[in-house]
Amino acid sequence: MRLARIRRGPGERIELAALVEGEELVSLASVDGCADADPVAALAELGVERLAEHTARLAGGERLAAAELVFEPPVATCTKICCLALNYADHAAESGLEVPPEPVLFFKPTTALIGHGAVVRPPARTRHVEHEVELAVVIGHVAHGLTEENWQDAVAGYTVVNDMTARDLQLANIARNQPWDQFKGFDTFAPLGPYLVTRDEVPDPQNLELTLTVGGEVRQRANTKQMVFPLPRLLADLSDGMTLLPGDVIATGTMAGIAPVADGDVMHATVAGVGTLTNPVRWQST
């Protein structure tokens, strides 16, 4: 299933919706267990099969055109966005860095989250912002001490994230040996979506093509099989000493091709089989 949190217009209430075909969705707001518009909670309470049955039943009624909707991030509750750095060797190489011997983790605040179609608004303090397309894993239940054998039990599904980065500020802090998380975590710097795709629809998350385009130009392209640390290792490592909660997002790293965005650019971040996340950029004035 492909679940989304949508508004029928700006300021309208958020509804849980499911993609039925093409670019058409049906609202699940009338379904018991879906009123809170929380995809992760609905999956935990009803399961994929029952949600699919409700979606099929409602598909003969009102359908909503995706192009006419406002998309919110496909997680209603998120306590942390866990991001992996240098998890593709070619990105480490273009950054002039060695591939790390262990996963390298940083965090984004949940205030950075925006949905598909929302505007990325870099603050005036930065003049060089770059895109980073990544596969995102969404946690489905409380998880601690996962193993490389049972990690998928904790997964609600997958989505697309664009790890926006104020590169000029980040590099300045790196040169000073100071923390740089702040410059990954500005408001709007974690576009996420459009859909939460349940794990049954992604049989092999370790073999997905990723691309990012701006103005028709392919900036980034890779496959998740090129990760330095694959998903089983990442989930086991993250949950070793840190509890993962429902709705938490794990951004699994980006590949080579990071490049600056200009005012007015529109980014299309795609993970094959998961979706295309589209966000325009509008620079804030001084």
H or E segment to which residue 120 belongs: none
205/84 Cα distance (integer angstroms): 16
Residue 210's pLDDT is what? 98
Grouping H, G, I as helix, E, B as strand and the rest as coil, residue 22 is coil
Q: Which residues does the chain have with pLDDT short of 50? A: none
**What number of residues does the chain have?**
286
Residue 61's pLDDT is what? 94
Strand 217-223 relative to strand 129-130: parallel, antiparallel, unpaired? unpaired
β-strand partners of 192: 161
Residue 286's pLDDT is what? 60
Tell me the Ramachandran region of residue 241: left when phi exceeds 0, alpha when psi lies from -120 to 50, beta otherwise: left
282/199 Cα distance (integer angstroms): 34
Cβ-contact 4, 29 below 8 angstroms: no
**Could you tell me the pTM of the whole model?**
0.97
107/76 Cα distance (integer angstroms): 18
Q: Which residue has the tokens 């949508």?
A: 6
Residue 143's pLDDT is what? 97
In Å, what is the CA distance from 239 to each residue of 12, 13, 21, 88, 190? 37, 34, 36, 21, 22
Q: Which residue has the tokens 């971040």?
A: 269
Separation of CA 173 from chain center: 26
